[in-house]
Amino acid sequence: MESEKRWKTIVLVIGGVAGLVTGLAAAALIIKKRESTGADYKLNSGEGFKIGMGVVGLLRQIAETGFKK
């Protein structure tokens, strides 16, 4: 029972760190782009939808990785 909790905790910690690093990298890219162009960052609904669908696709790939039917 203890080993089951341990692997779940490890997976959650790794996932949390990966999410944090990914989010910080995205924010750094947005800041760098704004500083280089001087333009405001405006996200319209179409771009938001594309980003959301990309995230869903990535999560689906991660969830299916390593599992064979």
State pLDDT tens for residues 15-35: 999 999 999 999 999 899 889
The pTM of this model reads 0.69
pLDDT value at residue 69:
65
pLDDT value at residue 1:
66
Question: CB–CB of 54/48 below 8 Å?
Answer: no
Non-local (6+) Cβ contacts of 66 within 8 A are none
For residue range 34-46, what is the model confidence (pLDDT) as tens digits?
A: 899 988 878 899 9
pLDDT value at residue 40:
83
Q: Domain ranges in the chain?
A: 2-64
How far apart CA 10 and CA 17 sit, in angstroms, is: 11
From residue 46, give the alpha-carbon distance in Å to each of 33, 38, 64.
20, 22, 27
